[in-house]
C-alpha cells in the first residue's frame, strides 16, 4: 500500500478548495489536506465556517469512490458516522447527528461536514469531504449568534484532546468504512447513523432551499439517505436539501 499524502498548511482559504484543486491535478484517493486555520472556511448552505488557529481541526479528504453517482450524496452520511465512531472511541463521548451531518454533543454543534463533488476527467467522480470540529474553542471563540448552539470537546468534557490523534482516528474510520460501503452498500453505516439520530421524534423545522419553513416531527432516515418529517397536517416530507432546526430540547 502506498503511503498517504497528508498536506499540512498553516493558513489556507479553505482546505476543501485546496483539496479539490489537488484532486483535479490527479491527487490520489485518500489524500488529506489539513490546516491550522482557514481564512474562508465554508459550511453547508454557503455559511462561513469560522476557523481560528489552535482551537479546531479543519481538514479535507479526497475520495474517488467506486459508487453509482446516485449514491454519492450518501457518502457524507457515512463520513458523519466515521467521525462519531472515532470521537466516541477516543474521547469517551456519545455524539448525535442532525441530518445530514451536523455532529452534536450535549445537543450543541461540535462539528460539521461539507462534501463537494464533481465529475472527473477519468469518468469517475472527484469527491472532497471537508470536516471541521471544535476541539478547544471557548464560548468567546464562537460568534454571538452561534454561542448558544455550539460546543467544543473542551467545553463539553473539560479535556484537551490532541488534534493529530483525532485526525488519525477519523482517517482510520473513513479508511475502514468507505471500502465497506463500496462493497456491501449502506445498510450497516445507516444503522449507525440511525442510532445517533438527534431529530427522531422531536419537533423541528425544515427550511427548504428556497427559504420556505415546514414544521414537523422527525421520522428518521430512509434508505436513500433522505430524512422524513411528519408535518402538522400528517403529510410526510422527504428532505434531500435545505436545513433542519431542532425546535426543542428532548
Ligand atoms: C457545516 O456544518 O456546515 C460544514 C462545515 C465544514 C467545515 C469544514 S472545515 C474543513 C473544510 N474546509 C472548509 O472550508 N469547510 C470544511
Minimal CA–CA distance to 117: which of 168, 195, 62?
62
- The residue contributing the CA closest to ligand 1 atom 14 is 41
Residue from 22, 132, 243 to probe ligand 1 pocket by mutation (most atoms less than 8 Å from CB):
132
Distance between CA atoms of 248 and 23, rounded to whole angstroms? 41
Mean pLDDT by 10 residues, the chain (250 residues): 88 98 96 98 93 96 95 96 98 97 96 96 91 96 88 98 98 98 98 97 89 92 96 92 76
pLDDT of residue 163: 97
Is 204 buried (19+), middle (13-18) or exposed (0-12) by CB count in 10 A? Answer: buried
Q: Which residues line ligand 1 (CB under 6 A)?
A: 14-16, 38, 41-44, 47, 49, 58-60, 102, 112-114, 130-132
Centroid of ligand 1 to alpha carbon of 42 (angstroms)? 5
pTM above 0.85, yes or no: yes
What pLDDT was estimated at residue 45? Answer: 86
CA of 135 to the centre of ligand 1 (A): 14
Measured from the Cα of 42, ligand 1's closest atom is 14
Gap from CA of 190 to ligand 1 centroid (Å): 22
What pLDDT shows up at residue 248? Answer: 58
Pocket test for ligand 1, best of 33, 42, 133, 245 (most atoms within 8 A of CB): 42
Find the 50 Cα to ligand 1 centroid distance in Å: 9
- What's the confidence (pLDDT) of residue 1? 61
CA of 243 to the centre of ligand 1 (A): 15
Q: What is the pLDDT of residue 168?
A: 97
Alpha-carbon gap, residue 126 to 23, rounded angstroms? 7
φ and ψ of 81, to 5 deg: -65, -40
Amino acid at each position: 500500500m502506498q503511503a498517504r499524502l497528508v498536506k499540512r498548511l498553516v493558513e489556507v482559504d479553505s482546505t476543501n478548495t485546496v483539496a479539490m484543486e489537488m484532486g483535479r491535478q490527479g491527487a490520489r484517493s485518500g489524500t488529506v489536506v489539513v490546516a491550522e486555520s482557514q481564512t474562508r472556511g465554508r459550511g453547508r448552505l454557503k455559511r462561513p465556517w469560522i476557523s481560528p488557529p489552535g482551537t479546531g481541526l479543519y481538514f479535507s479528504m479526497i475520495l474517488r469512490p467506486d459508487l453509482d453517482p446516485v449514491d454519492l450524496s450518501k457518502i457524507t452520511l457515512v463520513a458523519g458516522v466515521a467521525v462519531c465512531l472515532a470521537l466516541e472511541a477516543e474521547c469517551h463521548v456519545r455524539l448525535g447527528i442532525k441530518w445530514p451531518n451536523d455532529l452534536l454533543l450535549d445537543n450543541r454543534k461540535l462539528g460539521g461536514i461539507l462534501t463537494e463533488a464533481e465529475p472527473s476527467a477519468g469518468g469517475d467522480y472527484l469527491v472532497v469531504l471537508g470536516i471541521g470540529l471544535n476541539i478547544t474553542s471557548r464560548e468567546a471563540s464562537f460568534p454571538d449568534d452561534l454561542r448558544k448552539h455550539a460546543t467544543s470537546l473542551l467545553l463539553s468534557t473539560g479535556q484537551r484532546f490532541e488534534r493529530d490523534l483525532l485526525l488519525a482516528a477519523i482517517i482510520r474510520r473513513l479508511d475502514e468504512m468507505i471500502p465497506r460501503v463500496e462493497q456491501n452498500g449502506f445498510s450497516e453505516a445507516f444503522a449507525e447513523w440511525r442510532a445517533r439520530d438527534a431529530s427522531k421524534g422531536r419537533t423541528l423545522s425544515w427550511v427548504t432551499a428556497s427559504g420556505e419553513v415546514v414544521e414537523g416531527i422527525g421520522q428518521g432516515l430512509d434508505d436513500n439517505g433522505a430524512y422524513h418529517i411528519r408535518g402538522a397536517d400528517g403529510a410526510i416530507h422527504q428532505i434531500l436539501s435545505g436545513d433542519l432546526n431542532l425546535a426543542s430540547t428532548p
